[in-house]
Structure 1
Amino acid sequence: YMGSFTWLLLFFAYFFVSRFYRFKKIHLLFLSISIALQAAWGISDFFWMNLFHFFDLVEADYLKASFAGGIGNINGYTSLMISYTGLFAGLFIGEKQGKWSLLFLLMYAFTLLAAFYGMSDNVIFALFVLFLALPFFCFGKKERLLNCIDLYIAFFLVMKLATFFIPKANSSYQYGDKGFFLQLGFTTVPFLAIAVFGIIKLLVVKLQEERIEKVLKPIYFLIVALILFAVVFVFYDANVSHRLSFLENYSNYFRFDDSWGSGRGFIWKMGLNYLTKKMPFSQVLLGYGPDGYLMLTNDNYKVAISQSPYGAIDNIHNEYLNLLLTIGIIGLISYLSLLLSSFKTLFTKNNRGEEGDFSERVFPFAAGLCLLCYVSQAVINIAVPMVLPVIFILSFMGLGEKARAIGKVK
C-alpha cells in the first residue's frame, strides 16, 4: 500500500511533471495503446484465458475471479479502468476532430467494458458521480451536451454488449459478486435507457443554442435532486421500512450490515469504533502510523477478527477513513485540500475560454474527470502504488498545462 516513501516520490513527481512536461496530442495515442493493453489483459482474466500462466498452480476457481490484469486485485484493476473512463469521457466531450473523437469514444467504451468485467463495486460510485457531474460542464455549448448524451448511450450499449460475451461456465461471473452493472445488463433497462437518451438527443438537436442553458439547466437541477432523493429513499427502504420487495434482489448493495460490501460493513464498524472510543487525542491528530491499519486491528481487535469470516484485516477499504486512522485528521485535511485545489485548477476556465487550444482547455478538464472518478470510487477502496500514482501523474500533467495557460493571460 501507499507508504511515506511513495508519497514523497509523488511530491517530486508533481514538481518535475508540472514544470517540465509539455503536452503533445500524439502522447494520447501512445497512452491509449498502453491502456488498451492493460484493459485487454484484465478482460482476458475475466474469461480465464490465463495468457501469462499466472494461474497455472491456482486450483480454487474463486481465487481466479479475485484478480485481474497486471494490477492484481479486482478492486485496484477496476479503480484504474474506471478512472481512465473519466479521462476519455472528458477528451471526447472536448474534442472537435473526427478521428480523435472516434479514438476517445472507443477507448471510453473499452475501459467501461474492462471496468464492468472487473466486477468490483467501486465502479458504481465512480460512474454515479461522473454521470451526475458531466452535464454541468456541458450546458454552455450544444455540441458538448450532445457528446455528453452520446457517452450515456454508449454506457448502456456497453452494459448490454458485455452480457452477450459471458459464457455459462469458466468465467469470473460464476463466482462471488457478479457486478451490479453486469446484472443490470441482463435486464431490459439498457434498451429503455438508450431509447430515452435517443429521444433526449433529438430534442437537444432541435433546441436553440441560447435556450439550452436557460431551459435544460434548471430541469437538470430538479432531476439531480430527485435522483439524490431516490438514492436516499432506496437505502432507507432497504435498511428500515422494507416496503419494496424487488430491492431484495440487490440487498447486498443497499443493506448495511457486517457483510455489506464483501465485509466492508464489519471493517468500517471496527475502524469507527476505535476512532470514537479508543483512539488517543495525539493519534486523532497524527494517526496510528502510515498504512498501519493491520497493526491497529491486530493490536485491538484480534479476538473479534478471529471469530469473524476474515482471517486478517490489513486495510479498511475506504481511502478517507484509512487516512483519518493512519495519518490523522491533519493528514486527511491536507489530502482533501490537495484534491480540492487540484479540482479548482483543472476545472477553472481561462480567459480565452473556447479559444484556448487542446492542451490548455480539454486535457486538463479530462484529467480532472479522471481524478474525480478516482476519488469517488475511493469511498469503498484504498490507495495502492499500482493505481494512485498513475492517476495523480495524469492530474499533474493537466495541472501543469492549466497553470501555464492561466499564466499566459495574466
Structure 2
Amino acid sequence: LEIDSAFRIIVNYSGLLYIVIGLWLVTALAYLLDYMTKKDKDISDYKESIGGGVRLAWLVIIFVIIGSGIFLLLDVNVNGNAERYGVISNYLLFNDEWGTHRGYIWRNAIESFHAFSPFKKLFGFGPDTFGIVLLDKTKGNVYGELFDNAHNEYLHYLITVGILGLAAYLTYLVSFVVRCIRRGCSNPCVIAAMMAVVCYSTQAFVNLNLPIATPIMWLMLTLGALGCSGNGQAKDVGN
C-alpha cells in the first residue's frame, strides 16, 4: 500500500503548521526546564526521574491508542463500515490488496495450511519450503508475482515448521520477555535489549526475517538473557 493515503490526510489538514509549531515549543520548554533543574547541581549527583503521574498518563495514552486501533479494525472488517473512514480504510480493510498483496499471500497460505495432513500441520511442510507450497496455488495470479515468503514470520513458521515449531519459537520469545521483566527490570540495559526484541517481534507480523536485521535481534536476545543470568540479579550488560 502506497504511503499517499496517509499523506493526503496530513498534507490537506489546515492545522498542520500549528501542530508542528506547538510541538517545537513543547520540546523547547522541556529542554529549558531540564536545564533549569540541572544547572545548580553537580552532574554526578543528578539522577533523571519521571513522576508517577507522567508514567500513568503515558500508560493511558498507550491503552487508548491500542483500544482505538482494535475498534477501527473491528468496525471496518466485521461491521463493514470501511467507507466511514475514507482513505484510512486502505490501511484497515484486510483483503487481497492489503499491504502490497500481503492479504493475498496470507489468505492462500492459510488455505494451504488447512489442506495439510495432521502430521504436516504439526511439523510443517519443511524449512524454506513456503514458495513450494504456494507455487501451484498462486500460479498465474493477477499480480504476476511469485511468493516465496509469507511476509509474516509467524505464518511463515506455521507453514514451514508447523504448529510445534511455531509454538516453540513463541514460547522462547515470551519466556525471554517474562524473564527480563522479573529478573532484569532494575537494569536499563536488559530492558533496552528486551524492548529491541519486542519491537522486532512486533514488526515481524508484516515482514520477513532479513539477514541484515534478524541476527541483531538474536544478539539483543542473547545480551538480555545474559543480563538476567547469575544469582537472580541482573548483571551490568552495558559494561
TM bin, normalised by shorter chain, reads: 0.7 to 0.9
Residues in 2 aligned to 1:295 and 1:384: alpha-carbon distance in whole angstroms: 20
What amino acid is the match of 2:189?
F
> Is the 8 Å Cα contact of residues 275 and 325 (structure 1) preserved in structure 2?
yes
Residue 290 of structure 1 is matched in structure 2 by 127
Q: Percent identity?
A: 23
Among 188, 197, 202, the residue aligned to 1:371: 197
Residue 232 of structure 2 is matched in structure 1 by 406
Residues in 2 aligned to 1:243 and 1:196: alpha-carbon distance in whole angstroms: 36
Unaligned runs of 5+ in 1: 1-175, 354-360
Structure 1 residue 231 corresponds to structure 2 residue 69: yes
Aligned length: 215
- Relative to the length of structure 1, the TM-score reads 0.45
Residues in 2 aligned to 1:289 and 1:260: alpha-carbon distance in whole angstroms: 27
Distance 1:340 1:179, change over 3 A: farther
Tell me which stretches of 4 or more aligned residues in structure 1 moved more than 4 Å: 179-187, 195-202, 215-222
Structure 1 residue 342 corresponds to structure 2 residue 194: no
Residues in 2 aligned to 1:230 and 1:199: alpha-carbon distance in whole angstroms: 30
Residue 82 of structure 2 is matched in structure 1 by 242
Structure 1 residue 389 corresponds to structure 2 residue 215: yes
| Match runs of 1:29-44 below 5 Å | none
Q: CA RMSD in A?
A: 3.6
Residues in 1 aligned to 2:183 and 2:30: alpha-carbon distance in whole angstroms: 26
Which gives a bigger RCO, structure 1 or 2 (Cα 8 Å, sep 6+)?
Answer: 1
> Is the 8 Å Cα contact of residues 293 and 314 (structure 1) preserved in structure 2?
yes
| Match runs of 1:166-315 below 5 Å | 177-178=2-3, 186=11, 188=16, 191=20, 194=23, 212-213=51-52, 215-216=53-54, 219-239=57-77, 240-242=80-82, 244=84, 247-276=85-114, 278-299=115-136, 301=137, 304-315=138-149
What amino acid is the match of 2:20?
F
Q: What is the deviation of 1:198?
A: 5.3
More helix by share: 1
Residues in 1 aligned to 2:22 and 2:70: alpha-carbon distance in whole angstroms: 22
Residue 11 of structure 1 is matched in structure 2 by none
Residues in 2 aligned to 1:398 and 1:341: alpha-carbon distance in whole angstroms: 12
Residue 321 of structure 1 is matched in structure 2 by 155
Residues in 1 aligned to 2:130 and 2:123: alpha-carbon distance in whole angstroms: 14
What amino acid is the match of 1:272?
I
Q: What is the deviation of 1:395?
A: 2.2
Unaligned runs of 5+ in 2: 35-47
Aligned to 2:148, the other structure's residue is in SS state: coil
Q: What is the deviation of 1:388?
A: 0.9
Q: What is the deviation of 1:265?
A: 0.6
> Is the 8 Å Cα contact of residues 350 and 405 (structure 1) preserved in structure 2?
no
